[in-house]
Amino acid sequence: MTNHIIGKLLQGRYKIVQSLSAGLFGQTYIAVDVDYPKNPKCVVKQIKVSSSECSDLDILRLLFQTETQTLKLLGSHQQIPEFIACFEENERFYLVQECIEGHALTAELPIDQQWGCLWSEREVVEFLIDVLGILEFVHSQGVIHCDIKPENLIRRTSDAYGNAEALHKLVLIDFGSIQSIDFGICAELPIYRIPVTSLGYIPPEQFIGQTQPNSDIYALGMIAIQALTGLEPLQLKTDPHTKEIFWRFENTPVNDYLAAVLSQMIRYNYQDRFQSVGEVLRVLKQMVWETQPSQILEADFQFPLEVAKNPTSGNSSSLLTGMKVGLAANSLVMGFGVYSLVNTAPAYSETDTLYKATKEYQAGDLEEAIAIVKSIPSHSNVYPEAQAKIEEWQEQWQVAAQQYQIAETAFANSKWSYVLDAATKVPKISYWQSKTNKLVQQASVNIEAQTQYLLAKAYESADIRDFSTALKYLRQIPKESHAGALVQDKLAEYNRKRQIRAAYFLQKAYKKASIGDFNRAVKFLRNIPSDTLVYAQAQVKLNEYTQKQRLLSDNQKVASAKRTNSFVPKNSATKIEYLQGVNSLQEVNIR
């Protein structure tokens, strides 16, 4: 369908020129508006429809038309693409929106802790406040975006409308994925429908048709954690019992307050998360204000001590099945859960305790590290992470000890490559890596010495044209050797020369056999290696020439006997058989 629609003119106006992306609920394209001068670009979203029944289509058509006003309101926000049109063609539904010129947030995020710089706390907080401001507006219109991810946040780099304030702002795109556009035909979200780029950002409840406003908060929290750690969501581990995500590592530059906020944003159970965007904004702005005492406004962060943690939500819109609406009327005040989070943020002493335990673990004292971790009280916010560390450390320690033992045994047996292989499997524990690196260093020296010896032997064999032996030496050189490229070149060269030499021996055998010198022919054939291209042909000739060599030898013996008459039998019958055998040998020799 993607290729089929390229070049097509929709509504006699929007010409599809490029496929852009596939979202949760539709395909996105770049189009040009042929009705306008200079043909400005726009984005066209083709909405997936879950049913083709006429009765269902009538309902969908009504829902689609009803939602047009909501989409127009969304487009009025300067950080959301402007709504242009919404239409149906050939029983397919389309949205047309402003095309944002810029780059996706993906280009600004660090990748796998190796590419790009990790974001500072200030940068993360500013990013969250910026995007949460957009989401607060979106949710107030009764809409849940449902596909918050780096690809859907565009940094505007040009502005066709001359609005300087909009430049370099983040713009939230792809509102064709909002849950209201799914029409509620299928409440659940099958994994096969999800683009790879969305995996990891989508919260658990969204897969079972229980999408909440704070489902968008979860996704945004995952992006913030990616910015701080350089790890994508699918690279993070999950507690097998609580399903909570482990994301805070000893080298993650984040204070306890912000860490607690982010952890609350990505809680596995949506009831345990912040219940509204407003709650998150309030906590984050307090954090910013606390760093600027002159700007603190006491009235802005007086927290109620007793508020229902999970207030009931408003009635679901009949038009937006599976989605909570009326968020403006049902906005949730700061609940007791958030109040607890802010006021019982992990004490620095407990964080220091976990850090101290980690140092002991890295230094090689597992028992002491575990004992220190167990001293952290169960009411601490770092307690789940601390308990998870114990299980993780025990597993990694066992693997490290096993791999070190393998490396040590391989070293004792002079199996240098095995030493290096085992070393790569040792987990990142300084104590074990230090012990293993000593073996690796010596093994590497031995590999290079072995390489030089084998190369010299290979060269010697090649000088006397014994390419089979030369190849045998080359194949013993470990792949970890620094001479790897040279070895591969020599393997190819010597194998080619061996094939040529084998063909040369075969031709020499033919020539010797043609003049009846079967002894020399056989010698040439026996020098042809078994793994050469002409070996099979050589074996056929070897059998043939060996038989002729034997018959010729017997023939020569008979001829010699005839000259001396010492081998002619006196018995007449035996004499006849003997002469017949002589004639047979003579015929073979002639042939």
Name the strand (E) or helix (H) holding 10. strand 9-10
142, two tokens? 């009764």
Q: Which of 162, 108, 112, 114 is nearest to 131 (CA)?
A: 108
Spatial distance between the Cα atoms of 82 and 177, rounded to a whole number of angstroms: 16
386, two tokens? 């601390």
Q: Which of 203, 222, 77, 96 is nearest to 140 (CA)?
A: 77
Spatial distance between the Cα atoms of 89 and 92, rounded to a whole number of angstroms: 5
Q: Which of 33, 147, 174, 182 is catalytic?
A: 147
In 23-167, beta strands by DSSP E: 26-33, 41-47, 83-89, 92-98, 102-104, 153-156
Residue 249 · residue 231 · CB < 8 Å = no
Longest CA–CA separation in the chain, Å: 138
Q: Which of 187, 117, 118, 177 is nearest to 148 (CA)?
A: 177
Residue 33 · residue 190 · CB < 8 Å = no
Q: Which of 19, 93, 89, 87 is nearest to 49 (CA)?
A: 93
The count of other CB atoms within 10 Å of the CB of residue 557 is: 13
Spatial distance between the Cα atoms of 288 and 121, rounded to a whole number of angstroms: 10
Q: Which of 362, 360, 357 is nearest to 426 (CA)?
A: 362
**Whole-angstrom Cα Rg for the chain:** 40
Residue type present at position 181: I
Return the SS3 of 252.
coil
Spatial distance between the Cα atoms of 217 and 272, rounded to a whole number of angstroms: 12
Q: For helices 383-412 and 416-424, what crossing angle results, to 10°?
A: 180
Name the strand (E) or helix (H) holding 384. helix 383-412
Spatial distance between the Cα atoms of 387 and 370, rounded to a whole number of angstroms: 9
Q: Which of 175, 171, 174 is nearest to 141 (CA)?
A: 175
Q: Is 147 a catalytic residue?
A: yes
Find how far residue 241's CA is from the centre of its chain. Answer: 25
Residue 510 · residue 478 · CB < 8 Å = no
Q: Just list the catalytic residues.
A: 147
